[in-house]
Structure 1
Amino acid sequence: MTTHLPPAQEFSHKRALRAGFASFVGTAIEFYDFYVYATAAALVFPALFFPEGDPFLAVLSSFGIYAVGFFARPFGAIVFGHIGDRLGRRLSLMLTLVLMGVGTALVGVLPTYALVGIWAPILLVILRIAQGLAIGGEWGGAVLMSVENAPDKYKGFYGSFPQLGNPMGALLAAGIFSLLTIGGDDFLMNGGWRIPFLLSIVLIGVGFWVRYAVEETPVFQEEAKRWKEEGVKPELPLKIAIKNNWRQMLLAMGLIPISTGGYYIVTTFATSYATDPGISDINMPENTFLNVLSIAALCELISTLFIGALSDRIGRKRTFAIALVGTSLLAIPMFLSLEGDQLWLVFLLFAAVRVVMNGTWAPMASVLSQMFAPDSRQTSLSFSYSLGNAIWAGLSPLVATALYGLTGSIWSVIGMLAAMAALSLVCLAFAPQRKDYIFDPKTVAVPTPDEQTPDVQK
């Protein structure tokens, strides 16, 4: 077995920063679109799209449609992963941005149940599927745009740039709904909820312009060059992913319960738990709890790059593990604080949980991307992440709500979080990490059988 190495390229922080910023802007916009729906699913959609019957069942129905977007993600991962692995990460990112923007803006003009009856939730499902397809292809491409522009020693830091999009999108979504609820629920319920969806049109235009100016990643350019020079016609990325990467993909799915599903438990489920009298008797004002989420998202946003840089220093897997344990422990006082009358403690603990949980999110881009070889990396990464999201994030608010409804105790939800963290720790221990040698081929090491790449010729 001989190892073929690409010629070394000079690393440019300027280019890496430009790619990281483009990834951040795009993911921020797409996550904003996704979280606008998530917030509306908790606050508005049960009454406007499912007005008949038990309020508790209306919330479950709203979260059910919310979950549909997650189950559409794997299909988006296949379609846009193929485009990214064969035509370039850059093209796939521009297409996902447009699809997400159109889907979100159209939600803003949907008629409600009172106007068109059953067609209202049906149309909502269709547009939610469009959102899911877009975000399924978005995250993997954005991650690789950042990670593949950096050498191994900086992958944690630059890989955290697209991760900034999650808290920024959540901050924008929670912030605008907080503003809309200042004067009470009447304005929000009488059409004000449409404003955040329609704003997406402007944001998508900005994101498309930023991404259009970014170069393709050097890792993909090297792969495309090799295919051309060797006359290689590569197999379908999905076929390669299933044949060569199925173990890593299963491990990747098991790595993300807390950073995906846990996140939605402490945001979407917590919103209903804290504010909806049909769910619990806490009955916190919606505006107050949205302010809690806004401050928590801001703290997460500020901490992301620091945690990414820290993961390069102490180890990305070690950072991940510490965060899993910390999140499980802090979730206990966080949920219990909602039952007290110390509002400052609620703000503090929700912010603390989001920062600690960020230790699973900030380094996740680099950890997951380096589990796969470049020839099917976007497909393998996007599909495993999206399918994992469908299971963990798509179902977590629904399962958490059902658990609480069955037991009447928030401890059932806390126990669910702890079990998810335990699974992640096991998968993290077995997750392989490989290196790209674009910037420093002298660091080459012979890959294990599971990590063999197209650069390894038998």
Structure 2
Amino acid sequence: MQETETTEGPSRRTILAASLVGTSIEWYDYYIFGTAAALVFGTLFYPQFSSAAGTIAAFGTFAVGFIARPLGAALFGHFGDRIGRKSMLVITLVITGGATFLIGLLPTYAAIGLGAPLLLIGLRLLQGLAVGGEWGGAVLIATEHADSQRRAFYGSFAQFGVPVGVLTSNLAFLLVSGMPDESFMAWGWRIPFLLSIVLIVVGILVRARLEDSRQFAELKNENQVSKLPLGQLVRREPRNLILGSLASIAPPATGYMVIVYMLTYGTQAVGFERSTLLTLILLSTLVWILTIVLAAVAADRYGAKNIYILGAMTAVVWPFPMFALVDTANAAAAGLAFFVAAIVQGIMSGSQGGLFTELFDVQFRYSGISIAYQMGGMIGGALTPIVATALYATYGSSHVLALYLMALCAVSLVTVLGVQSRSGRGRLPRPAPETAAE
């Protein structure tokens, strides 16, 4: 029988592993660019600028990836809703890994002049496009195989990829940051980028074993796949699309203020050693991962929206204490600042997959959750390091940085209150045979 056949395939352990491993690799590829932008790109690719201007230019190149992410979300979301989740996940992994590897081979401004930053920007655009389609597919490949009582927990496996990517990318740079500055700037920074070729092979092998969920297979069997998912999304769920996008600002705003901008602020303004900050950020990701697990379990028990609201509230409160602790120039105090920030992020990350899955119908769910997530990432992630650098150069105070971050998080807190779950009013992903189309 057709229905029996759709139940066969990879185990849930394989599904969750593919979600975790794939996103971890893609975010490793994505985050090493952020670390390099903070540490070396300003000098190597924009040497004609002043120190502050070079840093802003490097962060601007970093931001290009965020600008491309909503476009990638729409592109891969379209085909993910029409063709399937698995194929998009393999394609995005190949594109991200290939672009990252090529960045490691790029000549610098000293070698080819203006062509160097242009090539860097082009490869960053490819990274952004692919990552734009990654998160939504990875969340859905997990949550659409879960019952309603475990949806947030399954979705959290895709969320692990973010802190794991941060951890591994920082670890990669930490291993080479002890090199003499001349060697590090000449070739040591390339090593983390070149390592991605090995990771990409591992990711493809894991994801090749995936299959799409029963619910999406039934949608295809019943010829109910939308020809224009984005059009349906905008027509039927504009409220959730807009509010979901704004609600997604706080996690990346908090995260990129720590894992990207703090590498510049902490070394140049406060006086920390580069290796000290990398170590503290690396350790904070372990707290981040643990918090995601606990938040996901709580989200399945108390409601994903309620837990996300709790996380957004903590995100509004923490910026001023965080900068006050970092400004002490004490490593233990800075570590505490980063650890609590990791908890703030983890609360929202652990509940986000379950919450967003319930916002949109299966016919345009890939497009919906991808665009909402990536729009929030563009506003909260792309702009934060740039604006923070410009604000500090203008005012020379961390108070204005904290106020900016607090304002971004307040937007997420207000808007998440207005999102409407599809629970009880539409088709939700369930693995059981009874989930035939309505």
Q: Shorter-normalised TM-score: what interval?
A: over 0.9
Q: What is the deviation of 1:53?
A: 2.8
- Give 1:75 shift: 1.6
Q: Which residue in 2 is equivalent to 1:299?
A: 287
The aligned counterpart of 1:321 is: 309
Offset, 1:107: 0.2
Q: How does 1:71-86 map to 2 (within 5 A)?
A: 71-86=67-82
Note the 1:78-227 alignment, pairs <5 A.
78-227=74-223
Q: Give the whole-Å Cα distance in 2 for the aligned partners of 1:238 and 1:318.
A: 28
Aligned to 2:326: 338
Task: State how many pairs are aligned.
Answer: 433
Distance 1:354 1:346 in 2: 12
Give the secondary structure class of the aligned counterpart of 1:102: helix
Task: Indicate the residue corresponding to 2:261 in structure 1.
Answer: 269
Code of the residue aligned with 1:438 in structure 2: it is: R
Aligned mates of 1:428, 1:125 — CA distance in 2: 33
Q: Is the CA contact 1:15–1:149 (under 8 Å) kept in the aligned structure 2?
A: no
Deviations 1:130-185 (A, max 9, x none): 00010001111001011111011101111100000000000001111111112342
> What is the CA deviation profile of residues 346-397 of structure 1, one whole-angstrom value per residue up to 9, with x for unaligned ones?
1122112112221111211111121000001101211222222222211111
- Identity over aligned pairs, percent: 36
Aligned to 2:30: 34
1:172–1:437 CA distance, 2 compared to 1 (3 A): closer
Residues 31, 170 of structure 1: 8 Å contact kept: yes
The answer to whether structure 1 residue 52 and structure 2 residue 48 are counterparts is: yes
For 1:62 and 1:298, how far apart are their aligned partners in 2?
A: 28
- How has the CA–CA distance of structure 1 residues 326 and 11 changed in structure 2, closer, same or farther, with 3 Å as cutoff? farther
Distance 2:326 2:225 in 1: 58
Alignment match of 1:400 (pick from 381, 388, 393):
388
Aligned counterparts of 2:226 and 2:154: Cα–Cα separation in 1:
29
Name the TM-score, length of structure 2 as normaliser.
Answer: 0.94
What TM-score, normalized to structure 1? 0.90
Residue segments in structure 2 that go unaligned for 5+ positions in a row: none
Q: Is the 8 A contact 2:145 2:430 kept in 1?
A: no
Partner of 2:65: 69
Q: Alignment RMSD, CA only?
A: 2.3
Decide which moves more: 53-62 or 325-334: 325-334
Q: CA deviation at 1:50?
A: 0.5
**CA displacement 1:48-86 (0-9 Å, x = unmatched):** 001113100000000111110011112211221122111
Q: Aligned to 2:237, what secondary structure does the other structure show?
A: helix
Task: Please state if 1:427 is matched with 2:423.
Answer: no
Where do 1:277-292 residues align within 5 Å?
280=269, 282-292=270-280
Q: Which runs of at least 4 in structure 1 moved beyond 4 Å after TM superposition? A: 7-12, 439-442
Q: After the TM superposition, which of the residue ranges 24-33 and 266-275 deviates more from structure 2?
A: 266-275
User: Is 1:249–2:241 an aligned residue pair?
Assistant: yes
- The CA distance in 2 between the partners of 1:345 and 1:76, in whole Å, is 39
Structure 2: how far apart are the matches of 1:233 and 1:27? 26
Q: Distance in 2 between matches of 1:147 and 1:156?
A: 7
- On the 8 A contact 1:8/1:440 being kept in 2, the answer is no
Residue 230 of structure 2 is matched in structure 1 by 238
How has the CA–CA distance of structure 1 residues 353 and 9 changed in structure 2, closer, same or farther, with 3 Å as cutoff?
farther
Aligned letter for 1:319? I
Q: Is the 8 A contact 1:319 1:359 kept in 2?
A: yes
Q: Which moved more, 1:433-442 or 1:422-431?
A: 433-442
**Which of 362, 369, 376 pairs up with 2:357?**
369
Q: Could you say what secondary structure the match of 1:430 adopts?
A: coil
Whole-angstrom distance in 2 between the partners of 1:344 and 1:399: 27
Q: Is the 8 A contact 1:8 1:438 kept in 2?
A: no
Cα separation, 2, equivalents of 1:304 and 1:11:
29
| Structure 1 spans left out of the alignment, 5+ residues | 1-6, 445-453
* CA 441–416 in structure 1, closer or farther in 2 if over 3 Å, else same: farther
| Residue aligning to 1:412 | 400
By how many angstroms is 1:9 displaced? 12
Amino acid at match of 1:214: L
Answer with 195-204 or 334-343: which moved more.
Answer: 334-343
Confirm or deny that 1:312 pairs with 2:306: no
CA pair 437-307 structure 1, distance change in 2 beyond 3 A: closer
